[in-house]
Structure 1
């Protein structure tokens, strides 16, 4: 049960966005830029970073939602997402992506945990400055949203179908078009 009374029974961030639409707009705009905007990382890779970091943060709602979004945008689907969650080092992803997930894991621990060795490892695998930048920002934003969702004890459905329902909408229309709107609360 959420720590505050929401004006919606929608799970996770969706209920929170409905509660405060004035904060929903910039949060959804940020998600749109980070996860769907121009980047050398594919949309699927960015969603994979998000679900991986959310898993490290044990944010069930964000892990499940972004796992569904990543799976729909990666040729290997949910099998790959589950392999990355289980052990990114043995998952069948590129060495570049493994190094970027190493950076994301360090960000999850704290920004200052990203060391020169993380950056050198990513560069050695061909990661560009833009890919490194985008990885850090996606991971940091994921941590913020995870703390928002869990800090207010929002509901997270157990049924994967609850997350799959949003996949087509997010992929076709993005995060800003999917933004819930409600009257501001007093």
Structure 2
């Protein structure tokens, strides 16, 4: 049960953005740019970073919803998502993505954990400055979202299968702010 009266029964961040739409629409706009906007990182890779950071923060809602979206986007290689959530990397991913995940994991702990050698490694694996920037920003933003969701004690769906539905919805809606959703 949420720590404050959110005046709706939606799970996770969806309850918060509906409670305070003045800020919610801006949060959705930011995540829309980061996870679905133009990028040389695939949507699946960006969802994977979000799920990985959320897992490190222990945020069940964000981990499960973004892992679901990543699994859908990775299609026949969806096992990569579970491997990354368990080990922090995957041999099925290219070295660049594993290096970006390493940076994301350090940002999740503290931005000051990232060292020049982490950036150099990512660059030597082919990461561009923009990809490094976006991996760090996705990580930082999801730390904010995780703390927002868990700091107000938002609810989880009663049925864990709802996360798969959320994954499909996030992909198809591309994080458009939808006032007054029912689910």
TM-score by length of 1: 0.92
CA RMSD of aligned residues (A): 1.4
Does residue 74 in structure 1 map to residue 74 in structure 2?
Answer: yes
Does residue 113 in structure 1 map to residue 107 in structure 2?
Answer: no
Does residue 157 in structure 1 map to residue 168 in structure 2?
Answer: no
Please list the CA deviations of residues 16-43 of structure 1 after superposition, one character each: whole Å capped at 9, or x if unmatched: 1111111111000001000000111000
Residue in 2 that maps onto 1:166 = 166
Contact kept in structure 2, 1:21 and 1:180, CA below 8 Å: no
Contact kept in structure 1, 2:36 and 2:174, CA below 8 Å: yes
Matched residue count:
180
Residue in 2 that maps onto 1:17 = 17
Following superposition of structure 1 onto structure 2, how do residues 1-186 of structure 1 map, counting pairs within 5 Å?
Answer: 1-157=1-157, 159-176=159-176, 179-182=177-180
The separation in 1 between residues aligned to 2:158 and 2:76, in whole angstroms, is 23
Unaligned 5+ runs, structure 1: none
The separation in 2 between residues aligned to 1:170 and 1:145, in whole angstroms, is 15
Contact kept in structure 2, 1:12 and 1:61, CA below 8 Å: yes
